[in-house]
Every structure is written in structure tokens, then in C-alpha cells.
Amino acid sequence: MPENLLAPGAVLALWTLVMLGWLAVSRGAAVKKAGIDISKAQPGGRGADLEPALPPSANWKSHNYTHLLEQPTLFYAVIVFLHLSGGSTDLTRGLAWAYVILRIVHSIWQATVNRLPVRFAIFMASTVCLIVLAVLAVIATLG
């Protein structure tokens, strides 16, 4: 396991763009199938406007990409705080890797099967990791 606490952050950032690629491929195919020509789109149209016209599984990739730009922003801030204040330990590195692995599993689940109870359970587990990291970051920065 890399010794650097920033490594899991770099992996999650890259994963976010992998999801953007997955979103682009599945939305592109669905848009084509629905016969929509985006060069003729109304000015100001946004991805979310396409939702009613596309199959749910195409929208799920987009929901997950959006999700990755929500709570993980807190994760990036917390690991940078820990890194800069001497809070990089086996425990924080382990929690950070757990968070990132759980978020990747969460993405794959949301983009494919997307049964809610399972997604919720994965999200809860990753959030518990983040809560512990956030508490440790407060301790590291105050100390």
C-alpha cells in the first residue's frame, strides 16, 4: 500500500473521470437511439433535461457522476488537512483507501444494478469512514 495519504485521493479523482467517460458513452448511445440531435438542442439545454427521454440505466451513470462531485469533495479536503498536519497514519491511510474502494463499488452498483438498499448500505459504510477521518482531522489540526 502506498505510504502517501494523498494516493487514495488521486485514485478517486481519476475514478470520477472514468465515470464521466462511462456517462458519455452510455448517454451518447441512448441519445442516438432516442433520435435526439444535440446540434439542434435548444440553447441552454443541460444533461438533466435529457432524463425523461432516456432509459433509467443511462441516467444512472449521470446520477453517480454527480454524486461523486458531492460528498467526495469533503473527503479531498479532509485528507489534505490530515496530510498537512501530520495526520497520515496507518489508520487514516486505511480509512482513506476503504472510503475510495467503497465509493468505487458504490459507483459500479449505481451504474448497473442500482437496487436501493444495497446502494444505501455501501454509502453508509463509506460515510462512516469519512466521519472517522473528519474527527481525526479535527484532532490532528487542533493538536
Work out which of 25, 34, 38, 131 binds another protein, going by CB under 8 A: 38
Q: Which stretch binds another protein (CB under 8 A): 70-78, 87-95, 103-111, 122-130?
A: 70-78
Smallest gap, in angstroms, from Cβ of residue 118 to another protein?
Answer: 26
Told to check if 71 binds another protein by CB under 8 A, we report: no
Told to check if 134 binds another protein by CB under 8 A, we report: no
Number of H helices, E strands in the chain: 5, 0
Work out the number of other CB atoms within 10 angstroms of the CB of residue 92: 21
DSSP strands (E only) in the chain: none
Rounded distance, CA 31 to CA 19, Å?
A: 18
Rounded distance, CA 86 to CA 143, Å?
A: 10
Work out which of 35, 43, 52, 56 binds another protein, going by CB under 8 A: 43
* Residues 107, 103, 17: CA angle, nearest 5 degrees: 60
Q: Which residues bind another protein (CB under 8 A)?
A: 2, 4, 6-7, 9-11, 13-14, 16-17, 20, 24, 38-39, 41-46, 66, 69, 72-73, 76-77, 80, 83-84
